[in-house]
Chains A and B, each alone.
Chain A
């Protein structure tokens, strides 16, 4: 074993470094807020210290608004709404929504413009989620159905439905994706066609005005998309954008006029509130998604149709424009859900961490005062006190709800808050609460006629506000702010590991070169340069979301490029032309498979809407294709089995022979399994008694037995063979065949084809390896270690991942594979099966197949010294590991650079998770494989000789 340890320690060191780097980086990067499935209920309020509302009809708060009209204008910049006098310079797109400005300046107490601050990522889907849940964005929605974006967290739409409110939706179909069964009526229009500026808007306008007269709804949501699309296509400073804004102005004017007409006592919109709001802003180019002020700042215009007193100045944070009589204050979007819930009198969403905004609340809330207390005196003081009393109570409920969420969250989540933070939260809350019991008592027996209660109430409100803002700030820093120090440390350790890796490879090179006394070589061959360039370009490509989306194609492009280079070499040498051509043909086939995979991906992905249309031609002769699809995999299996049979009949003995025979049996079983599943031959009844889970389970069992045989037997008996190339080959064949049957049955029918393809490609590569170096080194018998075949092998591995229908996203996992042979969900076996399915070809088989380049004598340098075997094998493992590590490091770097990117959670983060898991798996497999292959290899070479070498 000591011979293995001589270089094996490097693999252990590197694996250790990788794991540490990844752990540290992940802790700083992945902002995992887990979603809790709980929701708030009316009855929960009895646990709170706050006043419950006196009448039985209301729930948490007294409803202040009967009907709510929410008009969402997608990508509404703040300067679309705010008067141009707020900005340094008047731009052509400003002051177009004149009706909103006029309303805000005419009745400042009932209409107001707010600057709303969104939390990045500023995409519509994420923002709608944030607006309705009142929570911060999440990365992994653990526990819900993957792919479908439906919201699982408690949200205010859900609360509306639970409390018997009727919701009507029109416009952007994102709403119906998020809330599939929530709306009484919905008029969704497709949102994916960016070039279409009018369909969604016209649909909205068509339904919006008639709906205003109808009585069958309580909340109306109209989502206009035109401004967003106009921005994406033409930019902000463009005629279509200005036309859109003018169109909206006309529509809003009509809506407001209708609402005003209907707002008299006893009429339909007596107690209505109109909200015109953006979900996010946009840059001047029309982009959004990131966290820049232009993207984050949007607007909310709120208007109620009652004459209301204005708010005490302590709670008025607005900045005013004296000349125009418009005041604008700022509100975080986080506060939206809870404020609207309190206005409608429904329970606040469970996971909301917002605060009931006093200004928005004040716009609507005095209305019930007028109804309830007919005898209220006209003193402003009393009125104000009553308002404050009410608002303090609402904040009390609000704080209690937030505190409850924080408690439940930190109790159930793995990565919660630190104990100091929790202590500070509890401290702030208990302080506010202490005051509250005092305030409550005060107001209950003094009955609001004293001057002393006013400051007490104000203090109380400030205490609650402090608590709420502290929680929001803390949550933001924990959930939306990256810990750059930790990320930096992680990257640093990762780079250190890369340095160690290259050191180890240099050391191997040295012992390889020194033993042959060929130090005259500069060591930089064309192959090395090409490899370096390819790895670099692949690493650089990860910086862009487009290349991540089409990573399979990019990898295939590089693979085909190396294929063309080898074809050129084989032309140069007039050798192996057929192998090189077959290799290119195989890359072409893989590419088609990858495109089919992309096609599948486009069907579910929210980022890809384009589908390559040539695929549609395939479905013309449906029956023939389905027939082919049934037959081809089975044929491929037969061919694979035949190859294995040939290999054991030529050179094999002992355990490996039994292992390979077991695999052939497995292939037979797999073929039987597929036949029984398919409809071509009606064998289903034939196998019915057998049970459909039996075959997969038998295959798993056989694989386990094979693997344990391979692992245990060499420890006890050592066969003496002189030919170590042959024994290496047999070892490789046996372990590959042992793994392959399970992987094939998990991957389904494509598995057999992919396996056959990779076998052929591996054969070609093995034949072609070293084709370049001979010309470089000149003298025969000296082989420079050439990294090009290893690069090809690792690119092929990437292609295999994509060709077998996977992609680097969570909906790219094939969940069906977890249930091959199992009916019910058991976490651990299913997770293992899923891992084997995902990384089977790209990692497991690739790493175990690496000795391919050593096991066969390269046709270009026959006289290789056999004692160099272990070194070369190790070198290949190390180079493969290095290529994987460089890619993963590049992913980590790119994710860091793009951490504020629009698709950071949609694309970069899943890619990061995939790469990181793949890297650790590769490290582990290299560790295992090197032990497996080296056990016995060194005996044959003889320790004495090894000692001399090393």
Chain B
């Protein structure tokens, strides 16, 4: 699969590849949950720190390995450079996510530090790492994808939509927090993580749908 991906020189990718990558990411997420639940008998509600840590530790290598395959300008930048970019992107993205969460009202304090760190690492592997692998430090690409929200082609949609989905999902996930239901999952960052993951999955579905649509459109264009 890796070779097949690398053979494709242009930055656009086929919808089957999009599907493959998204399914792998979703499976990694599910695997993270499964391992946490069955191997370590952990639960996001009762031990958010460790569970989040496990989930991002499984999700993030998958994301890096997959997205590095579809890096831009593969002739100039090797697979390992892309992986290194992804590794560097993880803490940077985590820092940005954490700052955003703090601005929005995440609890400050030492006892929340671990949770916040793990949560923002997970968020970073949803939002920041894929783009870091694909685009590297290309400011124009980042600007186009995230600031202007004008992605070009299925690959950039694949970066843009799940990332936006995760952030928006986390935003909505924060709303149940102040309610007085006294449920354990209302604590920071449990429901926010659920929201982020749900948004991420929705974003992936959306990006796959768009990839299919674009593909069909291109075929039609060719046929004409």
Contacts and interface: CB of A to CB of B under 8 A. Distances in A.
Interface of A: 194, 544-547, 549-550, 553-554, 556-557, 560-561, 563-564, 568-569, 571-572, 574, 584-585, 587-588, 591-592, 612-614, 617
A553 B105 contact: yes
Contact of B147 (A550, A571, A613, A614): A571
B103 A563 contact: yes
Contacts of A553: 105, 178
Given A544-B179, A556-B105, A612-B107, 19 more contacts: A546-B178, A546-B180, A550-B178, A553-B178, A554-B178, A557-B105, A561-B104, A561-B171, A564-B100, A569-B147, A571-B146, A572-B143, A584-B103, A585-B103, A588-B102, A591-B103, A612-B109, A614-B109, A617-B110
Interface in B132-164: 143, 146-148
Interface string B105-120: 1011111100000000
**Which 9 A-B pairs rank lowest in CB-CB distance, beginning with the nearest?**
A614-B109, A571-B147, A572-B147, A550-B178, A546-B179, A546-B180, A560-B104, A560-B103, A546-B178
A889 to B, nearest CB: 21
Nearest to B182: A194
B174 interface: yes
Nearest to A615: B109
B117 to A, nearest CB: 16
Contacts of B107: 612, 614
A543 to B, nearest CB: 11
Contact of A560 (B105, B111, B182): B105
A587 B179 contact: no
A742 B171 CA distance: 39
A896 B60 CA distance: 49
Contacts of B171: 561
A564 B100 CA distance: 8
A560 B112 CA distance: 20
Contacts of A572: 143, 147-148
Contacts of B112: 614
A90 B171 CA distance: 47
Contacts of B104: 557, 560-561, 564
A613 B112 CA distance: 11
B31 to A, nearest CB: 32
B110 A614 contact: yes
Nearest to A903: B180
Contacts of B178: 546-547, 549-550, 553-554
Nearest to A584: B103
Interface in B162-198: 171, 174, 178-180, 182
A571 B109 contact: no
Contacts, number: 57
Contacts of A554: 178
21 contacts: A553-B105, A556-B105, A557-B174, A560-B103, A564-B104, A568-B146, A569-B147, A571-B146, A571-B147, A572-B147, A572-B148, A574-B143, A584-B103, A585-B103, A588-B102, A588-B103, A591-B103, A614-B108, A614-B109, A614-B111, A614-B112
B179 A564 contact: no
Nearest to A553: B105
B107 to A, nearest CB: 7
Interface in B42-67: none
A591 B180 CA distance: 20
B102 to A, nearest CB: 6
B156 to A, nearest CB: 16
B109 A587 contact: no
Contacts of B182: 194
Contacts of A588: 102-103
A587 B102 CA distance: 10
Nearest to A612: B107
A610 to B, nearest CB: 9
Interface string B76-106: 0000000000000000000000001011110
Contact of A545 (B102, B108, B174, B180): B180
A613 B102 CA distance: 17
Contacts of A546: 178-180
A193 to B, nearest CB: 12
Contacts of A617: 109-110
Contacts of A613: 109, 111
B100 A591 contact: no
Given A545-B180, A614-B108, A614-B109, A564 B148 contact: no
Nearest to A558: B104
Contacts of A585: 103
A642 B108 CA distance: 33
Nearest to B150: A572
A553 B175 CA distance: 11
A556 B108 CA distance: 15
Nearest to A563: B103
A591 B111 contact: no
Contacts of B110: 614, 617
A845 B112 CA distance: 37
Contact of B143 (A549, A571, A591, A592): A571
A547 B180 CA distance: 9
Nearest to B167: A564
Contacts of B102: 588
B108 A564 contact: no
A617 B171 CA distance: 28
Nearest to A232: B182
A396 to B, nearest CB: 49
Considering residues A194, A556, A563, A591, which has the most beta carbons from chain B within 10 angstroms of its beta carbon?
A591
A303 B92 CA distance: 73
Contacts of A549: 178, 180
